[in-house]
Every structure is written in C-alpha cells, then in structure tokens.
C-alpha cells in the first residue's frame, strides 16, 4: 500500500474503494466478536467460506467477518446484503441451505428469521426488529458492516475524514473548542467533560504530552469497550489521533486488558495498517503532524481502570492508584500532561468533528449529550449491547429494546454503573438515563453496565456480591478501602446468613462514610454505593433479614427452607429422583416430605416439581410445618381404597 500524502489523496482513495465495490454483489456478514465466537460464529464463518467455494460461487459472493452486532442473545447473526436479510442463531448445518436458498434462490428461510415475541410475526430486516429499531446506533452502528481487519472497509464508510478535517481545516484550539461545545462527557465512569480535560492538557506546560485509551473495562457483565475495539478499532484510533492533534501530543497508548486478545489483535493490526497508509506515524496525511500509538496489555485488574492506577501500570509499576491532588491532565503519565479517555469516548470524537458540536448536542438531555452504549444483561429477554440517545428512559431500554423480563417474572431493580453503581427500583423506571440523572438517583452511569434483576433477587445479596468483587479487586493500599470494604462485606455476609443483628445497618453506614470520605481513589470512594443504594430503596429487605431472619426474595440459602405442600403433592416421585442429597422422603402413592436435616437447599425439587402440581414451596421467616404422620401420607387414587 502506498502512503496517502494529502486530504485529496485520501478522498481519491475512498472513491476508488467505493467504485471498485459492487453494491449489488451479494455479501454475507457474520458477527465475529468474542461473544459471537463463544456462541459458535467461527465455525459458521468457515462453513460459509467452504460452502461458497463448493458451490462454485467464489468471487461472486463476499463474506465479511465483522465485529459484534449487539444482539448477543440471538447470535451468531448473519446479514445478507444488499437486501439486508437477517438470520439469527445460525448453526454450521444451516449454512448450505442459506447459500442454496437465499444467495442463489433469493428465497427467505422462515425458520432463521427473528420472531417478534409480542406479535409472533417473523421479521426479515434488521431495521424492523424492535431491538434495533428503538436504538440510535451512531457509534456502534458501523460495527456490523465493516471488517475490523480491513482499513478499506473503514475508509468506505467515511473513515478518517474527520482526522483530515481536523488537520487541514481546524487549528488544535478549534478542535478543543468543538469538543468542549459538544459537551462530550467521559463514557468511562465519572462523566468528566472531555473538552475541559483536553484544554487542561493543552494549556499545561511541557512539550511532551500523552493521550491514552482506557480499554481496561472490568465491570462484571459489561463489554461495550471490548466490542468497539474489536469491531471498529480505526474509529478509536481516529478519535485518539484527533485528540493528540488538539492537545499537542505525539505519543499515544492503548491500555487494554489482556483478557481481550481479539481486541489486542484487531487494534494492533489497525495501527499497522494506519501506519502503512500514512494515517499514523510521521507527517500524517502530509500535514506535518506526527503521532505514534503503542498498545499496552494490562493484567486485568479492575483497579487499573482508575486513571492514576492505569498510568502507574503504564509506567511499568504495580497498578496502584497514585495519591494526587493535581489532575492527571496536568501531571499524569511520567508526570506529564496526559489525556485519558475510554474507548467509547474516543470513538465519539470523529462523529463530533465531522458533524459538528451542534449536531451532537441535539441528542440527549440537558447535561448529557449524544448517545450511550449500554451492556444490558441479567434477567432480560434480549441480552446485548444497545446504543440509545441519552435521556431514553430505563423502561424503554428494558422493555422496548430489552424485551422485558423472561419467564413472566416481575422486574425488581436495575443495577447500573458497574460495581460502584447502584440499584434502581421499579418506581424509577421512568428515569431518563444521563450522568446527573443517574447520580441523583443514587446510582451512576459508569461505563454503561446495566444488570436487570427480577423478583427472585435478594438486594442484600446483590450488595454483598458487589462488595465481594471490590474486596478482591481493591489494590489494598489504603485502610478505608482494604479494611473498610472487608468489614462491610463481612457484615453483609452475616446478614444474608441470618446472623445479622440490630445495629448492623448503622455500622455499615459508618463504614460507608469512612470509605467515601477517606479512601484514596475512586474504587474505594464509590465502593459503598451498592450498599447505600440498596439500603435507600430496599431497606425493608435489610430489616427483614436482620429482625425476622427472613429473605423476602426467598433467595438467601441460610434463610429459606423447601417444603412440600401435602395437599398438592401427587407422589409423582420426580423430586425424589432428582434430589442430589436424598433429602426427599417419599415413595409411590406416598405424599413426599423434605428431610430438613439432609436438605442442601439446592432448589432442584422446586424446579422439577411439575407446574400442574407446584407442590414444592420455598418459605422464609416462618417455621417449616411439622411432618405429617405416615398413615396420613397415603394417597388414595381413583376412589380405589388403599389397604
């Protein structure tokens, strides 16, 4: 590949790529992100390639392995262009039929289409599926159409035009101004205005400045940064390069956790390609601006997402937060001005430069502009990555896009913002998502994790779970975090075990204050949030555990018992056969009972009892009724007397 030496040459190359591509040529795109690979997309992709060769279609049909399409619940996903027919949950054995029927025969295979659970109708095109229809996929949308390993694909959709615009039509100061005007706020956690951060670095003294991508995403259940870096690495690089130009930096780092090997691979390939094309390196696009990027693999410690810890790790030391009262954008990596933004934030930059701040601020709420990618997981029908304009309500995200709660269960809470976030109850479903809106409600935006919880979830246990995660992930340097969270976890664990006592809530509140006021970094300061938010909205559950030794969600093992209702048991023996600890006392025509001594509370009996009987009950906070005498347990069937 020859270097591109000017903005005109870039446009000429783009035109030649577009004209060499026949828009009518059939093309099969298949999602090939990490999550897709886990659901078998690799096998499907290689089968597609084989099948195309076998059927003599090589050269007449394109196959493109793209990044994550977002609808992970239904993966692997293929889209057949130009018609944009969407097939879901493809298995290798479906492939030959797809090629024969749809590619050659131009017929649609009904069974592979999406079925709308509300109407039971089959939907052919992506744009009509409720999951996609209600999104605004500005940043994430291209993921499904480009091959991340092919720079030409990115150029074909207008890639690097924002960089050319910034370099040739704007001064660095104007770029900073535009980003400031857009009110882009960091998508990593705190929601700090990106433009102000950039300005601080730009004005800070020193010739050497750094720009850094935080791709250390470590929230349980969140993977939007991974998907963006895997699926559209050039958009991140383009944003980073624009940022570098704006603040006067010539060196950039991508800090990515090594558990994201595909992201590392794709972004490394992207850097190499961009260098070959003259989009990175010396004299970018002939503008005289130099900028190089290095990939740094982190060991995957949650605390390394904290900015000062990340920079310490980049310097080659243990990833511990650095105590500082001077911001990193003035004194950061190697004590030099450093702009650190996360993957999604950087990906927004090319859009803002291309379309202008006014376009960007049209989307969103008063204080949160643009879109946000959420990772919607948990007790929800459509698990996946969704990108929505800021200001969409939680209800719309969970029900319109997420398809609601499975199994006819009731919604209980949504946990947003990762381990440092909080749980929001049903009363707040109409809350508009935005940085300040979520913070005000006692949770936070964080990087965009969203875990939906149903009625079976115990909120005390949820708080316990997140504090357990944070105890493991704390670096252990400062006392309020290392010791305070540990004590919080111990107290919460005791409560879920029915060993809670009066005064525990107050003790937890005191520990929470200590961590919040005195911890060294954001991990410790925000660690009490899971507790504080669940206490705020679900205090009754804490009290039930402590005072009545009862778990209202019937979830905490130590506080529940399984009991077979003698009026409902039909002695079908299913539970007795499935019980792993032989705790069911039963027999043919004999009403079953649970031996409470032997029962391990695994819940198998509860799950396997046929719904038409539903004889097994979970009880909490009340004594298990006394066993009934053997003679009363005999079931008399069909009027026939038992002897």
Partner 1 sequence: MSDIVLQIDGVEVAAKEGMTVLEAAQKAGIYIPTLCHHEKLEPYGACRLCLVELESRGRSRLVVSCLYPVEKGLVVKTRSEKVDRVRKMILELLLSHAPDAFELQDLAKEYGADKYRFEKEPSFCVHCGLCVRYCAEVKKKEAIGFVNRGTKREISFIPEIASKECWNCKECFPLCPTEALQAAFVLAKALSFPSTEHAPAE
Binders of partner 1 in range 322-341 (CB under 8 A): 323-326
Task: Give whichever of 27 and 521 is closer to partner 1, judged by the CB atom.
Answer: 521
Task: Give whichever of 313 and 553 is closer to partner 1, judged by the CB atom.
Answer: 313
CB of 488 to partner 1, least distance (A): 11
Which of 32, 41, 241, 474 binds partner 1 (CB under 8 A)? It is 474
| Token duo for residue 32 | 């090939």
Q: Who contacts 290 (Cβ-Cβ below 8 Å, separation ≥6)?
A: 250, 281, 282, 283, 284
Report if residue 486 touches partner 1, rule: CB under 8 A: yes
Nearest to 349 by CA among 482, 230, 194: 194
Nearest to 336 by CA among 249, 406, 423: 249
Task: Give whichever of 439 and 487 is closer to partner 1, judged by the CB atom.
Answer: 487
The phi, psi pair for 233, rounded to 5°, reads -65, -30
Report if residue 479 touches partner 1, rule: CB under 8 A: yes
CB of 474 to partner 1, least distance (A): 4
Report if residue 595 touches partner 1, rule: CB under 8 A: no
Whether the upstream peptide bond of residue 76 has omega within 30° of 0, thus cis, is yes
CB of 517 to partner 1, least distance (A): 5
Report if residue 525 touches partner 1, rule: CB under 8 A: no
Task: Give whichever of 37 and 516 is closer to partner 1, judged by the CB atom.
Answer: 516
Report if residue 510 touches partner 1, rule: CB under 8 A: yes
- Taking residue 158's Cβ as centre, other Cβ atoms within 10 Å add up to 12
Which of 483, 504, 548, 565 binds partner 1 (CB under 8 A)? It is 483
Which residues partner with 87 through β-bridges? 78
**End-to-end CA separation in angstroms for the chain:** 92
Binding window for partner 1 (CB under 8 A); candidates: 51-59, 357-365, 441-449, 468-476: 468-476
Which of 63, 211, 301, 310 binds partner 1 (CB under 8 A)? It is 301
Which of 358, 472, 595, 622 binds partner 1 (CB under 8 A)? It is 472
| Token duo for residue 622 | 């009340």
Report if residue 439 touches partner 1, rule: CB under 8 A: no
Site string for partner 1, 158-177 (x = CB under 8 A): --------------------
Q: Which helix (H) or strand (E) holds 641?
A: none
Sequential DSSP letters for 419-447? GGSEEEEGGGTTPBP-HHHHHHTT---TT
Report if residue 299 touches partner 1, rule: CB under 8 A: no
Binding window for partner 1 (CB under 8 A); candidates: 23-31, 125-133, 438-446, 480-488: 480-488
Report if residue 308 touches partner 1, rule: CB under 8 A: no
Residue 289 to residue 241: CA distance in whole angstroms: 10
- Residue 245 near residue 167, CB atoms below 8 Å: yes
Report if residue 475 touches partner 1, rule: CB under 8 A: yes
Beta strand pairing call for 251-257 and 292-298: parallel
Question: Helix or strand or coil: residue 532?
Answer: helix
Sequential DSSP letters for 151-214? HHHHHHTTTTHHHHHHHHH--HHHHHHHHHHHT-B-TTSS--BHHHHHHHHHHSS-S--EEEEE
Residue 127 to residue 113: CA distance in whole angstroms: 13
Task: Give whichever of 304 and 431 is closer to partner 1, judged by the CB atom.
Answer: 304
| Token duo for residue 526 | 């925000």
Task: Give whichever of 217 and 473 is closer to partner 1, judged by the CB atom.
Answer: 473
Binding window for partner 1 (CB under 8 A); candidates: 62-70, 96-104, 119-127, 515-523: 515-523
Residue with tokens 């005064």: 503
Nearest to 500 by CA among 361, 599, 624, 621: 621
Sequential DSSP letters for 567-583? TT-----HHHHH-TT--
Report if residue 464 touches partner 1, rule: CB under 8 A: no
CB of 514 to partner 1, least distance (A): 4
Q: What is the CA radius of gyration of the chain?
A: 28
Distances (CA, A) of 493 to 165, 366, 461, 468, 508: 56, 40, 8, 9, 12
- Residue 461 near residue 496, CB atoms below 8 Å: yes
Task: Give whichever of 39 and 474 is closer to partner 1, judged by the CB atom.
Answer: 474
Task: Give whichever of 471 and 526 is closer to partner 1, judged by the CB atom.
Answer: 471
Site string for partner 1, 257-296 (x = CB under 8 A): ----------------------------------------
Residue 495 to residue 506: CA distance in whole angstroms: 13
Task: Give whichever of 517 and 643 is closer to partner 1, judged by the CB atom.
Answer: 517
Which of 428, 511, 535, 544 binds partner 1 (CB under 8 A)? It is 511
CB of 202 to partner 1, least distance (A): 23
CB of 233 to partner 1, least distance (A): 30
Task: Give whichever of 474 and 529 is closer to partner 1, judged by the CB atom.
Answer: 474
- Residue 408 near residue 382, CB atoms below 8 Å: no
The binding site for partner 1 (CB under 8 A) comprises: 301, 303, 318, 323-326, 471-480, 482-484, 486-487, 490, 510-511, 513-514, 517-520
């Amino acid at each position: 590949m020859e270097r591109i030496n000017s903005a005109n040459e870039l446009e000429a190359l783009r035109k030649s790529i577009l004209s060499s591509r026949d828009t009518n040529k059939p093309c099969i795109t298949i999602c090939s992100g990490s999550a897709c690979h886990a659901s078998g997309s690799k096998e499907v992709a290689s089968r597609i390639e084989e099948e195309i060769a076998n059927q003599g279609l090589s050269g007449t049909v394109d196959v493109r392995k793209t990044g994550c399409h977002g609808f992970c619940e239904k993966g692997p996903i293929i889209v057949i262009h130009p018609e944009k027919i969407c097939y879901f949950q493809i298995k290798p054995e479906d492939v030959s039929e797809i090629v024969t029927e749809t590619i050659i025969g131009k017929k649609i295979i009904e069974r592979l289409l999406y079925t709308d659970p509300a109407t039971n109708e089959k939907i052919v095109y992506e744009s009509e599926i409720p999951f996609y229809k209600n999104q605004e996929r500005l940043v994430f949308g291209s993921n499904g159409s480009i091959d991340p390993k092919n720079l030409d694909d990115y150029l074909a959709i207008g890639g690097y035009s924002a960089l050319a615009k910034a370099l040739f039509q704007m001064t660095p100061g104007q770029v900073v101004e535009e980003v400031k005007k857009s009110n882009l706020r960091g998508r990593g956690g705190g929601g700090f205005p990106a433009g102000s951060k950039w300005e601080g670095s730009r004005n800070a003294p020193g010739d050497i400045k750094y720009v850094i991508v935080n791709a250390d995403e470590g929230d349980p259940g969140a993977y939007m940064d991974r998907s963006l870096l895997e699926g559209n690495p050039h958009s991140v690089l383009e944003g980073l390069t624009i940022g570098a130009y704006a603040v006067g930096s010539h060196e950039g780092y991508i800090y990515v956790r090594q558990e994201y090997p595909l992201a590392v691979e794709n972004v490394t390939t992207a850097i190499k390609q961009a260098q070959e094309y003259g989009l990175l390196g010396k004299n970018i696009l002939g503008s005289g601006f130099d900028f190089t990027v290095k990939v740094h693999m982190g060991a995957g410690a949650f605390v390394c997402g904290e900015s000062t810890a990340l920079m310490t790790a980049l310097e080659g030391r243990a990833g511990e937060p650095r105590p500082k009262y001077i911001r990193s954008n003035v004194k950061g990596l190697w004590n030099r001005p450093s702009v650190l933004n996360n993957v999604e934030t950087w990906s927004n930059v090319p859009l803002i430069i291309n379309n202008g701040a006014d376009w960007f601020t049209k989307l969103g709420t008063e204080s949160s502009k643009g879109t946000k990618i959420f990772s919607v997981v948990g007790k929800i029908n459509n698990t996946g990555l969704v990108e929505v304009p800021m200001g969409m309500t939680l209800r719309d995200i969970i029900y319109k896009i997420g398809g609601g709660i499975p199994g006819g269960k009731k919604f209980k809470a949504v946990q947003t913002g990762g381990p440092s976030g909080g749980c929001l109850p049903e009363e707040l479903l109409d809350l508009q998502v935005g940085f300040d809106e979520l913070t005000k409600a006692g949770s936070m935006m964080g990087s965009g994790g969203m875990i939906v919880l149903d009625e079976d979830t115990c909120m005390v246990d949820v708080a316990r779970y997140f504090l357990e995660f944070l105890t493991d992930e704390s670096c252990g340097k400062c006392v309020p975090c290392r010791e305070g969270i540990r004590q919080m976890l111990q107290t919460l664990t005791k409560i879920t075990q029915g060993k809670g006592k009066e005064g525990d809530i107050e003790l937890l509140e005191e520990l929470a204050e200590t961590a919040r006021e005195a911890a060294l970094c954001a991990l410790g300061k925000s660690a009490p949030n899971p507790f504080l938010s669940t206490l705020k909205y679900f205090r009754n559950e804490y009290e039930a555990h402590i005072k009545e030794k009862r778990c209202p969600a019937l979830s905490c093992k130590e506080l529940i018992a399984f009991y077979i209702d003698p009026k409902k048991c039909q002695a079908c023996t299913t539970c007795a056969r499935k019980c792993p600890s032989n705790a069911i006392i039963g027999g043919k025509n004999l009403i079953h009972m649970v031996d409470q001594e032997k029962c391990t509370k695994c819940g198998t009996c509860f799950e396997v009892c046929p719904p038409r009987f539903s004889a097994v009950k979970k009880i909490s906070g009340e004594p298990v009724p006394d066993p009934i005498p053997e003679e009363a347990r005999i079931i008399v069937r069909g009027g026939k007397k038992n002897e």
